[in-house]
Chains A and B, each alone.
Chain A
């Protein structure tokens, strides 16, 4: 009984091995003609590995996709393990470019130095952190930074909308926001509360911004904040709050124009890539970064929901290349 099982087992196993070696052959033979085809025109090859912020991921993925369509011998991989893990991988030498939704920290610079390395900071696009409310909310369409701070600061006593402004409804505010590990959380708390990473804790946090979208769009008295691209995709379900820097300033709504010219303050922030300096010597990385900063690259950033930087900032990034 068992012997017959053994026999059948070995047949199945052999079949599996054959299948896999066939699959391996298949992919090789598929790739060969492609290799030959690419020899004319460009001789770039190699591997570019990118890891880091999930906010920057869509931009890097889009650029990688189009770059590989031109240079098909270059393999670009993009991962999204978070800004901090991206820098850790950069320090460990596992990747050549780190995606980050915040600037590099001093201790990360030091750790790179200890490895004899250096990261080069290149802002690639703007993201406007958008404060959103339910479309039925007709009272809080404009808010000052002070009002936002009153709601979000540590130890905030705001329970109802009327605690912020007596003219607003006497109904409890439901708050939604990103988790504490997120770069969006760090920037928002820094810009609004004045101290980074400090915020009231009794809100509904989620690492998945789509959960925040669902939360705010389903509750008239809800409020939340997240990246501009999530607002753009859900404009039919959400309204953006126009922000006033202070009582006398004009209220500015987040749009591509206001984020680009810097009038949407203080929640407009740049997102970055950090190539490691030693990798800049490599031809394929140079070309990849040039493509990233090119007009095509800028258009890709806008296509996935971010705002392109002023042209001189891209020119400055390119001047850092050897």
Chain B
């Protein structure tokens, strides 16, 4: 009798395990299949339109003459300011909060707010950028205003990711450094940062990818949808790839939807390159440590 019960229970537990196994597998497949379908659809629509002319032409009312040149350069200009600025400010903030800040109400207040800021919808940053950078500071609807808005947008994410990376360094390593007579700055530079770097880089580059893909805040800040000149300085007008893609996808003509797909392929390639750099850097520094 007892043996029968135990067997029954065993069977039930095994069945439960199988059910959850299938459940989790199908959750995983759901995401992968959806992504694969999306990619296939985009590749089928867009590949035929992707050629050298597409990369070197500007937008046009004619689908076959349309290109993404101004948008590629606009995105590069924007990221050349956003990436270094948000990285320097973000990592510095994380170092301050993790290594220097005392556990008092003020620092807890900052900490909570940073976490909250990471969840603010991007359009709100757009409105902030329009008011502060475009109108109050008088930068106009320029590369600079757009870049600073994007910096604000991704800063909280970089800070949180860097903090997590720094937190993961065991206290014993810091203590060992202190015991050898190093001060706090030396410890940060020689012990904490080198070990935290892979995590910091991964978080940062994922945030940069987000900045590259954002549309809404830049439409508000005034990146234009149609422009044929490239920026010559940070005070010039510009457009970025997601805005160009959004504009094409909204047009009634079927051909423009394919042009939009070609734009998405270029954007995806840029994002994948950035992510590949992140993975490469992470692996490189992980091995060293």
Contacts and interface: CB of A to CB of B under 8 A. Distances in A.
B104 to A, nearest CB: 30
Interface in B174-204: 189-190, 193-194, 197
Contacts of A54: 250
A77 B224 contact: yes
B288 interface: yes
Q: How large is the interface on A (under 10, 10 to 19, 20 to 34, 35 or more residues)?
A: 35 or more
Contacts of B224: 49, 51, 77-79
Contacts of A294: none
A28 B232 contact: yes
Given A1-B194, A28-B232, A80-B247, A234 B252 contact: yes
Contacts of B220: 81
Interface string A192-235: 00000000000000001110000000000000000101101110
Residue of A58, A75, A234, A304 ringed by the most chain B CB atoms within 10 A: A58
A314 interface: no
Interface string A48-81: 0101001001101110110010000001111111
Interface string B9-35: 000000000000000000000000000
Interface residues of B, number: 38
A172 to B, nearest CB: 28
Nearest to A92: B135
B235 to A, nearest CB: 12
A13 B85 CA distance: 13
B228 interface: yes
Given A78-B224, A79-B225, A58 B61 contact: yes
Nearest to A81: B219
Interface string B214-233: 00000110101111111010
Interface in A10-59: 13, 16, 20, 23-24, 27-28, 49, 51, 54, 57-58
B249 A94 contact: no
A138 interface: no
A300 B60 CA distance: 12
